[in-house]
Structure 1
Amino acid sequence: MGVSLLALTACGPQVPDSAAGIGDDTSPFNAPPAIETGQTLSGAPLVPPVVLSNEATGANANWQNPRPTGTQIASSNSASSLNVGSNDDIAREAAAAIAASSQNSGQAPLQASPDNPAPALLGHAGISDENDFSAVASRQTIESDAQRLANQRAQYQVVAPTAVPQRPNDLAPNIVSYALSTSNPKGQKVYSRAGINLKARAERNCAQYGSPDLAQTDFLEAGGPQRDRLVLDPDGDGYACGWDPAPFRAAVRAQGI
């Protein structure tokens, strides 16, 4: 009987395992299986390989150096070629360009820093430093000022006054002589005046003269100061149109005459 049971079991169908496929290595969510020493993995990669262009695999494979040393970049439009130098050549060219730029102005470039003061400005034509005590003291002293004043005093000349030339009697009245011959101040009545609206008439008549001196000359020539035919002296002080003899008297007193 035992032999019969074994035979039936061997001939019966196989029951599939319900856990088959769970935790399979092909699942992308499972951790990769441990690799023992000497064991290799085989199979297709999950990500297909990237196809590289000829720019990375051909003559331009050295992409990390944009200016390869000792190579020539051929031009498809010209038969000539451009030689590309090394990094040392580039450094020498840059140093030469900096040196040439510093020689264009004739002066080396200034280094701007707090420790480097600004250069002195020169050639300011028209700007005076007379109010700068330091600048004046550097070129002038008390002794030089005294010497300059002495030189100016030595060149000073006093011109002696001369007598006023005599005027002939046939010319117009001399207002200077008349001013010195009078003593009453301006506005003080000395001569009588008769008439109507003398002040208004005198204002209109005086407006025709360019200066009080001209009015005084005509006033004296027409019979003044005793008579005022032109109506130029309404207040009777002997002075026409506000003419004032005081400046002439002061000039004579100043000269001690």
Structure 2
Amino acid sequence: MKSGVMIVVAALGLVACGPGQSPERGVGFDDFSAFELDRARREAALSAPRESIIPPPQVNTIPGPVGGPAIPASELAAAGIGQTPENSALDPERVAGLDASPTNPAPNLQNNPGISDEQNFDAVSGRETIESDAERRAAQAAAREEIAPTAVPDRPRDTGPNIVEYALNAPNVKGQEWYSRSILAGQNRFQRNCAAYPTPDDAQRDFLARGGPERDRLGIDPDGDGFACGWDPAPFKAAFQN
């Protein structure tokens, strides 16, 4: 009895899933054939070449404002947009100058007086001959001016103390007392008198000319090292050793 009931239930289930029923009716389709048709269209769109999907670009038009029509090619031509050298209303020479091609070579600048063509064999050979070259060389030789050598002027011997020689022969270094100085030499006098010299070299030269290093008449060597106004012989010695 139970087996008979089960057979009846199974038969009813097969009838419910027969070809007349669509498993996809719950997804927005009226019947199975409409679903199959839509699926076939989607598969065809995915498998089609890319060129057939992308629409061809508009020719001779430019998209207008958002939501507006495209701009016709005639209006673009009237405004001078999209012109080519053949149909442009611009100056033909200016247009040709912008078109870089083998048929549009660069301007010939050989006749420019500011540019020499002496290194151009074709240009020189076209206007020069052996005779003209000889004449030019003769003219250059005639215009040559020879200056007779003269004796080098003698250097004046009385140029004052030689601070380079003094630096190389100095027995001490800067700051090392070597000569006695008066206790009356003050710092104020030292600063005031040293301020009158443009450079320490000038101060040392004048210091030696006034009897230094033994004597310090202006008080510009108060520490008695023989170097006035902070002058240092070390750079001269280093340069001589190198």
TM-score using structure 1 length: 0.37
Q: Compare the two structures and name the one with the higher helix fraction.
A: 2
Q: Which has the larger radius of gyration?
A: 1
TM-score using structure 2 length: 0.39
